[in-house]
Amino acid sequence: MPGMTRPLTLLGIETSCDETAAAVIRLLPEGGVEILAEKVHTQLEEHAPYLGVVPEIAARAHAELVDKTVAAAMADAGITYSDLDAVAATSGPGLIGGVLVGMMTGKAVAQAAGKPFIAVNHLEGHALSPRLTHDCPFPYLLLLVSGGHCQFLEVRGLGDYHRLGSTIDDAAGEAFDKTAKLLGLGFPGGPAVERIGASGDPKAIDFPRPLLNRPGLEMSFAGLKTAVSRAAAAEPLTDTRMANVCASFQAAIVDVLSEKARRALAGFEPGDGQAKRFVVAGGVASNKAIRTGLESVAKGAGAVLIAPPLRHCTDNAAMIALAGAERLAGGLESEAGDLGAGARPRWPLDEAAAKSDPAYATGRRGAKA
């Protein structure tokens, strides 16, 4: 990192959805990151009976787990709180109860240790996540595709993100989860739909590809749910029919993401003879058909596809610690830190793009991005 004279060691805390996570990382002046410890508790069992994440249950589970998770990460890292340079925690966007738990914990630890607290935007964590393990210089194109997010971002530099397009309603992972719920396949839905669809015919049902032929990079997945429910009601749901519905639904998502990725890559010029880097992150990126589709699009565009390891694709605290460390190293944070920062349920990375979006509004009904 230019301007850095010594390593920076940070504790990161992530509690914005259903993962309670803590990690300790060290950002090195010569470039690169050492991950000293990573702990994550996924609240699958807590939410599975409800077939989705229940915000109140998530907040309570975070409150019960966060202290232990932080202590375990620090013990694993083998350092003391006084060895830290700062503490970073997700301060939005996300489920407000959980965000508050993580932020309060981060502020308390920072104050007790006499270190700065850094309020991190969860989406910035995702945007920087490939840099935990890969040599991934700015600028690069990012597709963030998970249960809570679905957007294309041009990551131009630290704190410089340009949102190229996003879903105007449900995230792709949310569509997988709703489809699975409708078909009685449990939660989380993505892996179940993929598994059952593996033996199905992706061309059996012609599901809509919303906004596919519209210019631009906006996406829409909410309508697919209705189409799936119609297909499920049209014929008895034999094993074959079920496999065909899953395979055809997945094919619709693959087509939309691939076509939008093709357009995004066509419009992305890194400049200075740099390689075109295309990063895919988020839980949905673990879907094989989606990954294969994106790999072939990247190849066609002469781009390098970077897929961070799954533990950094899904919600994790290492990316939050890294965002804090890069901010500190880049002088984007004051030495005093953000002790006064509040939790933000909505916090777009690219505020300008979000405000020009008709779906954007502040408050409860603001844009998901």
Q: List residues near Zn ion by CB under 5 A.
A: 315
What's the DSSP call for residue 219? B
Q: Does 94 bind ligand KG4 (CB under 6 A)?
A: no
Instruction: Provide the CB-side half-sphere exposure for 133 (13 A, CA).
Output: 15
Q: Does 167 bind ligand KG4 (CB under 6 A)?
A: no
CB of 4 to ligand KG4, least distance (A): 30
| Residue in this structure with the two tokens 């993100």, named with its chain if needed | 161
Q: Does 287 bind ligand KG4 (CB under 6 A)?
A: yes
What's the DSSP call for residue 153? E
Tell me the window of 32-40, 83-91, 171-179, 236-244 that interacts with ligand KG4 (CB under 6 A).
171-179
User: What does the angle CA 77 – CA 83 – CA 89 come to, to the nearest 5 degrees?
Assistant: 75
- Residue number with CB closer to ligand KG4 (92 or 282): 282
Tell me the window of 69-77, 132-140, 266-274, 284-292 that interacts with ligand KG4 (CB under 6 A).
284-292
Q: Does 146 bind ligand KG4 (CB under 6 A)?
A: yes
Q: Does 194 bind ligand KG4 (CB under 6 A)?
A: yes
What's the DSSP call for residue 299? H
Instruction: Provide the CB-side half-sphere exposure for 140 (13 A, CA).
Output: 27
- Integer Cα distance of 8 and 326 in angstroms: 9
* Pattern 24-53, ligand KG4, x by CB under 6 A: ------------------------------
Total number of residues that touch ligand KG4 (CB under 6 A): 20
Tell me the window of 99-107, 143-151, 160-168, 271-279 that interacts with ligand KG4 (CB under 6 A).
143-151
Q: Which does 90 bind (CB under 5 to 8 A by kind): Zn ion, ligand KG4, none?
A: none
Q: Which does 259 bind (CB under 5 to 8 A by kind): ligand KG4, Zn ion, none?
A: none
Find the helix or strand (DSSP H, E) in which 103 lies.
Answer: helix 96-113
Q: Does 197 bind ligand KG4 (CB under 6 A)?
A: no
CB of 90 to Zn ion, least distance (A): 9
With CB under 6 A as the contact rule, the residue among 85, 177, 259, 326 that binds ligand KG4 is 177
List the beta strands (DSSP E) in the chain. Answer: 8-14, 19-27, 33-42, 86-92, 117-121, 140-145, 150-157, 160-166, 277-281, 304-306
Task: Give the list of residues 6+ apart from residue 202 with CB closer than 8 angstroms, or none.
Answer: 247, 248, 250, 251, 289
Q: Which does 200 bind (CB under 5 to 8 A by kind): Zn ion, ligand KG4, none?
A: none
CB of 192 to ligand KG4, least distance (A): 8
Type of residue at 222: A
For residue 280, what are its two tokens? 């895919």
Tell me the window of 182-190, 213-221, 294-302, 343-351 that interacts with ligand KG4 (CB under 6 A).
182-190
Q: Does 283 bind ligand KG4 (CB under 6 A)?
A: yes
Q: Which does 170 bind (CB under 5 to 8 A by kind): ligand KG4, Zn ion, none?
A: none
CB of 133 to ligand KG4, least distance (A): 16
- Stretch 263-282 residues interacting with ligand KG4 (CB under 6 A): 282
List the beta strands (DSSP E) in 293-363. Answer: 304-306
- Chain position whose Cβ is nearest to Zn ion: 315
Cβ pair 58, 97 in contact under 8 A: yes
Cβ pair 201, 248 in contact under 8 A: yes
| Cα separation values, 65 from 105, 210, 214, 251, 317, Å | 11, 40, 45, 38, 14
Q: Which residues of the chain form contacts with ligand KG4 (CB under 6 A)?
A: 17, 146-148, 173-174, 176-177, 188-191, 194, 282-284, 286-287, 314-315
